[in-house]
Structure 1
């Protein structure tokens, strides 16, 4: 009987050891998983915080809009006060006339750039904010005057929607694009001299928190 108890005792001992190893391994894995979740969460939370901090260097206050209800979705989209919200961007209509290059610099100083129009819906939204009496610079230019129009983010105009007025663009010397209201054609794009002074439209990415 004593000899039978010894193997059984050893078997129980090994079983307990295996269970202990398994439990410790699971605890270690759980700890690693929780740690990685915390790090990921902090990284995701810090990213909008950094962006918010950047925006606050240019803008004293922001306006935020509820844009989602699911836990997995970003909940709030923010734009600086007095900027218009549409899609994933914020827009500011400048009421000060300037050259194209200075208009772009003014946008950059606010953490933005001259507007890049990607869809008809965006074009329609923007024109609803404009005064038909004025011309506005877009972030579209033909630097070499060779018909290769490109957006300020280097996107070729051929890859975006285009809303040129009939027969535009025409003169190769007119290397900057504007949006202007012509009767009876309504709103459309026109190429103009870059050193003319016009109003402009700035665009920046919306910040999500």
Structure 2
């Protein structure tokens, strides 16, 4: 359309050459030029208006688009902040979950440890129960045998308590020492704790029990005197009837009584439950011995108890009730 208007303007400015020649005398070249310019200007004004209108429209459109873009940017920033907050919250939740997981692992490991200890304790209890049942059977058989002996050879049995030369009688068998209505025997051959107890049971007694300071003094003195009388022997200590096989630190006498805190005579740094390198099951030191002192009557000489491995070879102290002669 602009081209058509331009042609029209050109034609209006360039009339017929003949007509222009006839009018040459009336007008000069300078008079013709301004008129033509006015015609050109008047023909381009609508075009400029259209162009300006389009440019203004484009400007408004771009302005709206920019506003919309800025608004979307703001919305995205809000969403981004929300996502950042959510991400931080998620990280905190993850840290809490990880902490709970660590706590659960600790609890699980502790539970497994307790289960393992309980299993080991149950195994020890079963073993101890089996030993006690066997001991009960042996005692029943021994009692039956003793009743048979007493019923058939009562007098000859009683003569064993008397000296055939002096006719003086004791309430304990030969080789046993009397104390507090009880008889005590110190072996000359070392044995393991279980074997030692069985030999005591076979002799009608059990491993010795310390019930008082007087008992402790008597038994400690027995070990001291034995060492003095047998200097050639490698006498380390002697078993007594105290052990913590079922639960570490929970000491019981073979009589079933629990160890009282006011009747304890441990050596310094004992008990320590040290585990011997040669011990296969690593059970520790669960049986107690009396270690003979270097001197009698010195300070703390009664503190002679030592916990050692039950499979060790030691002499042993047996105990039985003294006979009542009426």
Task: Tell me which interval the TM-score lies in, with the shorter structure as reference length.
Answer: 0.5 to 0.7
Task: Kindly indicate whether the alpha-carbon contact (under 8 Å) linking 2:220 and 2:292 is maintained by their aligned counterparts in 1.
Answer: no
Query: What pairs with 1:26-175 in structure 2 (closer than 5 Å)?
Result: 53=150, 61-63=160-162, 78-130=171-223, 131-132=226-227, 133-158=235-260, 161-171=263-273, 173-175=284-286
- The normalised TM-score by structure 1 is 0.62
Shift of 1:88: 1.1
Query: What pairs with 1:178-193 in structure 2 (closer than 5 Å)?
Result: 178-181=289-292, 186-187=301-302, 188-193=304-309
Gaps of 5+ in 1: 1-49, 65-75
| Relative contact order higher in (CA < 8 Å, ≥ 6 apart) | 1
Task: Kindly indicate whether the alpha-carbon contact (under 8 Å) linking 2:248 and 2:286 is maintained by their aligned counterparts in 1.
Answer: no
Shift of 1:159: 6.1
Task: Kindly indicate whether the alpha-carbon contact (under 8 Å) linking 1:140 and 1:150 is maintained by their aligned counterparts in 2.
Answer: yes
Partner of 2:314: 198
Three-state SS of the structure 1 residue aligned to 2:185 is strand
Task: Kindly indicate whether the alpha-carbon contact (under 8 Å) linking 1:79 and 1:207 is maintained by their aligned counterparts in 2.
Answer: yes
Runs of 4+ in 1 over 6 A off after TM superposition: 54-60
Shift of 1:145: 4.1
Quick one: distance in 1 between partners of 2:157 and 2:310?
26
- The normalised TM-score by structure 2 is 0.41
Higher percent of residues as strand: 1
Give the number of aligned pairs: 150
Deviation string for 1:99-140 (max 9, x for gaps)?
000000000000000000111111111222213443100100
Partner of 1:23: none
Gaps of 5+ in 2: 1-146, 164-168, 228-234, 275-283
Three-state SS of the structure 2 residue aligned to 1:53 is helix
Shift of 1:169: 0.8
